[in-house]
Structure 1
Amino acid sequence: MSTANTGENIVVDTIELGDVRITRVVEWHSPIAPAAVVFPSSTEQMWRSNQDWLAPHFWDPETTFFKAYTQTWVLRSGGRTILVDTGVGNDKERPYMRVWSHLDTDFLSRLAAAGVEPEDVDIVVNTHVHADHVGWNTRLVDREWVPTFPSAKYLIARADFEFWNPVNGYPKRGSLGGISGALGNQNMFLQFMEPECEACLSEDEPAAARQRRRFLERAADTNALVLPAHLPGPGGALVRREGSAFAIEHWAPFSPVA
């Protein structure tokens, strides 16, 4: 992986796609849980047979813990600055995931190292409304929650907005104590190969599997670069069909910041 290092010792990873610059800003990373806990329908054989690409970036074969990032993708094109997802956030109560509760990270410094101040952001896209994708939408200032990106327009899928809107009495269910979203399932790790392998995070598991398969089919057929929300590792993935499943063709590496 080719990276750049700022004067603050913060690494900035970028990929150029035409006239769009995509920068990864990592908020938090750690081994997070045994794979079988989060992917209860997976088998040890699934993980072992994919060990050649899962280890060491995504999965530790000795502990069986998988590794995850919470991160933001910064898109810059045509003079606009767009953030895709905003991580967990500082000072937030996360009782269902103790490692995320009351974080105190240097995320805003990392964002600044990527050349973005909060006032610069034009649009925030929340792909779904899990707590680890919307956390920096707000920050605590003088004991009050205020918008982190005061000039931005925030875009949220209507289905997720209506599902989580307190006036609609959303159901507090799902493993991890309510972290599950309505339609916001994403590809993680083994699901590149096995899109029907369900994580414990979906309200509608059959619909989530269908959505993942449609997404991977489109990515494979159009040669689209896949930049998943939680994956660490060397860059973006290009996928190919392999029978009824999929495989990673190769990784598009990050490049140094100019």
Structure 2
Amino acid sequence: MSTETSTPQRIAVGDVEIIRVVEWQGPFAPAADLVPQSAPQMWQDGGTLLAPDHYEPARGLAVMALQTWVVRSAGLTVLVDTGIGNGRERPESPDFHQRQSDLLGDLARAGIRPQDVDVVVNTHFHADHVGGNTTGQAEEWVPAFPNARYLLPAADDHHFGPGGGYGGGRSPDDRLMYEDSIAPVHRAGQARLWDGTLRIDARLTLESAPGHTPGSGVLQVASRGERAVFTGDLLHNPVQILHPSCNSCFCMDPVQAAASRRRILERAADEGELVIPAHFAGPGAVRVHRRGGAFGFDPAV
């Protein structure tokens, strides 16, 4: 398995090519706020595993990335999550409100046109994972990738959609997110809901891993004896590899999220899967290994 450090970053997993498209990377939030169950000592004990790529000790800030991953497999071009998007109304989320990103430009610089995308995978329905699904403006949103199937977790579609009361009325941003980033995909007939497992092709398989959201999932890659797993937001920061019982502040079902996290980490360690979370900064991916009864990791460089 090889990783190129040029821009954009490219990773090979057997015959599958993975391209990293970074929207933003840097200090994001107080570590104690992002992972409320964590203690300051956990971050300090992480040493150079966490700092400086994932933790800024001087200010106690977690370092994160907003990014999309492109997966090319046997002629298919697949996007894994689509970032925040442009001009979205997110009044409860100042970091996301009316943000201007350039996903389509970033993809073009990586040699990918909107019409080239065959599949869009949303690991879950949070605003920073679905915003690039559509393009346009106010009430005129249309799918950004006209030829793509959008694979949407059914449990999230119910929870965050009108059938579930737009997130059960938890947040006005949930309604706005669904209406500008998910509903237009349904109206265009490009949505496919899934649950449990879904085989995309011989190398790519979606698998439910609920807890962060009701329908959150992971994407497994297997080719020529090499493996990787896109974990979405099961992991926001590698401190959660060292302490897998610690959830992020965004996990909706903490008990279920921790169980899903541990299951995916155990498999990654046992089967040698490259772990590719949605928000890891630095190299963006890690190799997990067992460390006694716990886990350790090495940057995938």
Under a length normalisation based on structure 1, what TM-score does the superposition of the two structures give? 0.89
Tell me, yes or no, if structure 1 residue 172 matches structure 2 residue 221.
no
Q: Specify the code of the residue in structure 2 equivalent to 1:126.
A: N
Structure 1 residues 130 and 18: CA distance shift in structure 2, 3 A: same
- Cα deviation digits, residues 11-40 of structure 1 (max 9, x gap): 200001111000000122232110111211
Gaps of 5+ in 1: 5-10, 254-258
User: What aligned pairs does 1:97-246 form with structure 2 within 5 A after superposition?
Assistant: 97-140=93-136, 144-169=140-165, 170-173=167-170, 181-184=213-216, 185-189=233-237, 190-246=239-295
Kindly indicate whether the alpha-carbon contact (under 8 Å) linking 2:114 and 2:145 is maintained by their aligned counterparts in 1.
yes
- Cα deviation digits, residues 153-188 of structure 1 (max 9, x gap): 0001111111111122132338x9769732435112
Over 4 Å off, 4+ runs: 176-180
- Cα deviation digits, residues 192-238 of structure 1 (max 9, x gap): 11110121111110000000000000100100000110011124211
Name the CA distance, whole Å, in 1 between partners of 2:14 and 2:102: 30
Gaps of 5+ in 2: 178-211, 217-232
> Of the candidates 25, 32, 37, which is equivalent to residue 28 of structure 2?
32
User: What aligned pairs does 1:70-109 form with structure 2 within 5 A after superposition?
Assistant: 70-109=66-105
Name the CA distance, whole Å, in 1 between partners of 2:125 and 2:242: 25
Structure 1 residues 33 and 235: CA distance shift in structure 2, 3 A: closer
Match of 1:15 in 2: 11
Q: Which of 142-151 and 96-105 deviates more?
A: 142-151
Q: Which of 20-29 and 217-226 deviates more?
A: 20-29
What RMSD, in angstroms, separates the aligned Cα atoms of the two structures? 2.0
Q: Specify the code of the residue in structure 1 equivalent to 2:36.
A: P
Q: Specify the code of the residue in structure 1 equivalent to 2:5.
A: T
Name the CA distance, whole Å, in 1 between partners of 2:168 and 2:139: 29
Q: Specify the code of the residue in structure 1 equivalent to 2:274.
A: L
Cα distance, 1:109 vs structure 2: 1.3
Tell me the percent identity.
Answer: 45
Structure 1 residues 168 and 216: CA distance shift in structure 2, 3 A: same
Query: SS state of the match for residue 25, structure 2?
Result: strand
Match of 2:5 in 1: 3
- Cα deviation digits, residues 116-158 of structure 1 (max 9, x gap): 1111000000011111110100112597211100110000111
Structure 1 residues 181 and 200: CA distance shift in structure 2, 3 A: same
Match of 2:300 in 1: 252
Cα distance, 1:251 vs structure 2: 2.5
Kindly indicate whether the alpha-carbon contact (under 8 Å) linking 1:183 and 1:208 is maintained by their aligned counterparts in 2.
no
Structure 1 residues 51 and 97: CA distance shift in structure 2, 3 A: farther
Kindly indicate whether the alpha-carbon contact (under 8 Å) linking 2:269 and 2:290 is maintained by their aligned counterparts in 1.
yes
Q: Specify the code of the residue in structure 2 equivalent to 1:251.
A: P
With CA pairs under 8 Å and 6+ residues apart, which has the higher RCO, 1 or 2? 1
- Cα deviation digits, residues 95-134 of structure 1 (max 9, x gap): 2321221111222111111111111000000011111110
Kindly indicate whether the alpha-carbon contact (under 8 Å) linking 1:27 and 1:106 is maintained by their aligned counterparts in 2.
yes
Under a length normalisation based on structure 2, what TM-score does the superposition of the two structures give? 0.77
Kindly indicate whether the alpha-carbon contact (under 8 Å) linking 1:183 and 1:202 is maintained by their aligned counterparts in 2.
no
Name the CA distance, whole Å, in 2 between partners of 1:208 and 1:20: 28
Query: SS state of the match for residue 257, structure 2?
Result: helix
Q: Specify the code of the residue in structure 2 equivalent to 1:104.
A: Q
Cα distance, 1:44 vs structure 2: 0.4
